[in-house]
Amino acid sequence: MNLAEKVAQMVVVRASGHLFDNQILYPDWEPPNSKLQYWVQELGVGGVIFVGGSAVDLATRIQQLQSWAKIPLLLAADIEEGVGQRFAGATWFPPPMAIAAIAQTNLKKAQGYAETMGAITAQEAVAIGLNWILAPVVDVNNNPDNPVINIRAFGETTELVCQLARAFIRGAQQYAVLTTAKHFPGHGDTAVDSHFDLPVIPHSDRRLAEVELPPFFEAIAAGVDSVMSAHLLIPVWDGELPATLSHKIITGRLRQKLGFDGLVVTDALVMGAIANRYGLAEASVLAVEAGADILLMPLDAEVTINSVCDAVSQGRISESRIDESLQRIWQAKTKVYPTWEPGNEKIPDYFSPPTYNLVEKLAQSQAQETVAQILQDSIQVGGGYLTPKNRDDNHLRNLVLVQDILNTPFLGNHTPAIAIPKKYGYQLQLIDNYSEALQTFTSHRLTLLQLFIRGNPFGQSASLTQAGEDLVKKLLRSGELQGLIIYGSQYTLKQFSSELLSEIPYIFCYGQMPKAQAIALELLFKDLQVSL
């Protein structure tokens, strides 16, 4: 292999999980087929990370990519809440924070759930052809305003995150798939989303050692295959460079102090915290200098490969540094492709079974039962149930408030949050957090309010906008509110806990998926079932 081929193996590009160019949802970030094929077949990039598409779409997409690749690919996705979180058809788990909530009263049970979640996620990932789970999140979410980690974390305390992340990894290890502890050295205590700007962690060495680092120790001890670096500035360790680009942090702390010898992967190089400050070419070189093995999601694979190759020929990076990373990549690939050997360019036919066989492998009954149990064990209910009396009104309204009205994979005319109230005579009004309609809201109708609000990468906010919060409070005080369901973040519930009157039924549920809606609405409408 020449230098460019070796460096290409260090690059994992982003692609749509859909097969056709006309289905690309993020045209600024996802290459069309012609470019993707060039990257995989000609440049020989090491892997691909996917967003979008159904489970069947993705399985097909992966077969296509494997048919292009000379060396089998690392195939990754942010499936922190199960394969179904990203790829419809597979199992969609509640967010890790739901399991943390269960752990407050029953740690053993919660560990069991985390392990099962890891195992099912791994089993389903392997079934559709993924071999790299970009999970578990091992950040300790000790900042309720954290817009990007939030309920993606396995808890608000170090202890809990250690216990549950370890269980998740143990579960996943039953299958030939890579796991990832992220985001090193800990993204839990920020109020800035690094997708937009660079957060600063002002903590002391001691505090980091006590709070943020133990989950990484735990994950490494449990045999996690990779660690993802965070785009965070940690002045106490490096006053200049963010963790992703810092030799002091990646090599000094992660490799040497923590003794991690697996794959180090950067967080996405396309993210604002890095891309806006350093540019792709320099960021790629700095990340390799820092000690990264995998450069994730550069906007242009060719720029990354060329800039790293140039840095080698200029003597800024040694070729042995590249070879070290390549060795780790070979190690990872031999783990997930046990019949493949480095140097052997032929890929066995990994995907001979037709994709329809997935129907026997995804979303099986044990998986669905586990999802339902986690939801049921973590749900919070207050204020009683709706009674038939409440229904004596012709103007019942089902007000559904979401974060982004054009991105609601959890909602459709058939999903319980829409279909069940409709059956009971409620008229739907669907608006989003940023809608003008929030301000002009005047009509007086008995209202069932359902909030789908949670912290998400790129979500802009962990919770409601001010206008959204004002609307909820107005409804709470007006006597119009008949019931409230919050799907997502317990921090949203806390925003209103002082306002929640004992006579208004409310439900809080960590999940937003249809199963969560079914469980919540069944509880809320409990006393109405007979009368329907």
**Amino acid at residue number 531:** S
Q: How far is CA 334 from CA 48, 140, 325, 339, in A?
A: 17, 32, 14, 8
**Distance, CA of 264 to CA of 254 (rounded, Å):** 9
- Of 219, 185, 229, residue with least CA distance to 204: 185
Nearest Cα neighbor of 521 from 396, 394, 398 is 398
Q: Look at strands 380-382 and 226-229 and give their pairing.
A: unpaired
Of the candidates 31, 44, 53, 188, which one interacts with its own copies according to CB under 8 A? Answer: 53
Q: Position 76: which residue type?
A: A
- Residue 397 contacts residue 445 (beta carbons within 8 Å): yes
Q: Assess 20 for contact with its own copies (CB under 8 A).
A: yes
- Count interface residues toward its own copies (CB under 8 A): 58
Nearest distance, CB of residue 61 and its own copies, angstroms: 7
Q: 268: which 2 tokens?
A: 């996405």
254 vs 363, beta carbon nearer its own copies: 363
- The least distance separating its own copies from the CB of residue 222, rounded to whole angstroms, comes to 31
Q: Catalytic residue, from 18, 183, 195, 203: name it.
A: 195
Closer CB to its own copies, 235 or 412, in the complex: 412
Does residue 484 bind its own copies (CB under 8 A)?
no
The SS3 call for residue 150 is: helix
Of the residues 5, 38, 41, 64, which one makes contact with its own copies according to CB under 8 A: 64
Is 424 a binding residue for its own copies by CB under 8 A? The answer is no
Site for its own copies contains 355 (CB under 8 A)? yes
Q: Which long-range contacts (CB under 8 A, 24 or more apart) does 354-357 make?
A: 355/56, 355/59, 355/60, 355/63
Minimum distance of its own copies from residue 3's CB (angstroms): 31
Task: Give the closest residue to 493 by CA, choosing from 70, 91, 98, 227.
Answer: 98
If the CB atoms of residues 59 and 524 are measured against its own copies, the closer one turns out to be 59
Q: Check binding of 373 to its own copies (CB under 8 A).
A: no
Alpha helices in 383-486 (DSSP H): 416-423, 466-478
CB-CB contact of 457 with 195 (8 Å):
yes
The 293-332 site mask, x for binding its own copies (CB under 8 A), equals: ----------------------------------------
354 binds its own copies (CB under 8 A): yes
Query: If you write DSSP's letter for every residue of 92-132 in order, what string do you get?
Result: -PPPHHHHHHHHTT-HHHHHHHHHHHHHHHHHHHHHHT--E
Interatomic CA distance for residues 174 and 305, integer angstroms: 34
Q: Is 444 a catalytic residue?
A: no
Q: How many CB atoms lie within 10 A of CB 42?
A: 12
| Residue 144: count of CB within 10 angstroms of its CB | 16
Q: Which stretch binds its own copies (CB under 8 A): 12-20, 40-48, 165-173, 334-342?
A: 12-20
Residue 508 CA to chain centroid, in angstroms?
21
Closest approach of its own copies to the CB of residue 388, in Å: 25
Least distance in Å: CB of 52 to its own copies?
10
Of 390 and 407, nearer to its own copies (C-beta) is 407
Sign (positive or negative) of CA dihedral 414, 417, 423, 428: negative
Q: Which of 238, 267, 293, 432 is catalytic?
A: 267
What is the side-by-side strand order in the sheet with 47-51?
Answer: 132-133, 74-77, 47-51, 11-16, 295-296
By CB under 8 A, tell whether 358 contacts its own copies: yes
Contact string (CB under 8 A) for its own copies, positions 425-464, x = contact: --x-xxxx-xxxx-xxxxx---------------------
User: How many residues in total does the chain contain?
Assistant: 532
Bridge partner residues of 401 (DSSP): 431, 451
365 binds its own copies (CB under 8 A): no
Binders of its own copies in range 88-147 (CB under 8 A) = 88-90
Output 18 or 86, the one with its CB closest to its own copies.
18
Q: Minimum distance between the CB of residue 196 and its own copies, rounded to whole angstroms? A: 16
Asked if residue 353 has a cis previous peptide bond (ω within 30° of 0), the answer is: no
Residue type at 152?
R
Shortest Cβ 434–its own copies spacing (Å): 8
Candidate residues 95, 118, 136, 514; the one interacting with its own copies per rule CB under 8 A: 514
Nearest residue (CB) to its own copies, 44 versus 82:
82
Pairing of strands 506-509, 380-382: antiparallel
Q: How far is the CB of 477 from its own copies (least distance, A)?
A: 19
Nearest residue (CB) to its own copies, 57 versus 139: 57
Between residues 246 and 403, which has the closer beta carbon with respect to its own copies? 403
**Residue 13 contacts its own copies per CB under 8 A:** no
Q: Helices 107-128 and 96-103, interaxial angle, to 10°?
A: 160
Out of 119, 362, 453, 504, the residue judged to bind its own copies by CB under 8 A: 362
Choose which of 63, 251, 334, 461 interacts with its own copies (CB under 8 A): 63
Dihedral over Cα of 354, 117, 14, 317: its sign: negative
Minimum CB separation of residue 89 from its own copies in Å reads 4
- Nearest to its own copies of 57, 115 (CB atom): 57
Q: Compose the 383-422 pattern: x for residues touching its own copies by CB under 8 A, - for all others.
A: --------------x------xxxx---xxxx---x----
Residue ranges in contact with its own copies by CB under 8 A? 18-27, 33, 53-57, 60-61, 63-64, 67, 84, 88-90, 351, 354-356, 358-359, 362-363, 397, 404-407, 411-414, 418, 427, 429-432, 434-437, 439-443, 514
Q: Which residues are catalytic?
A: 195, 267
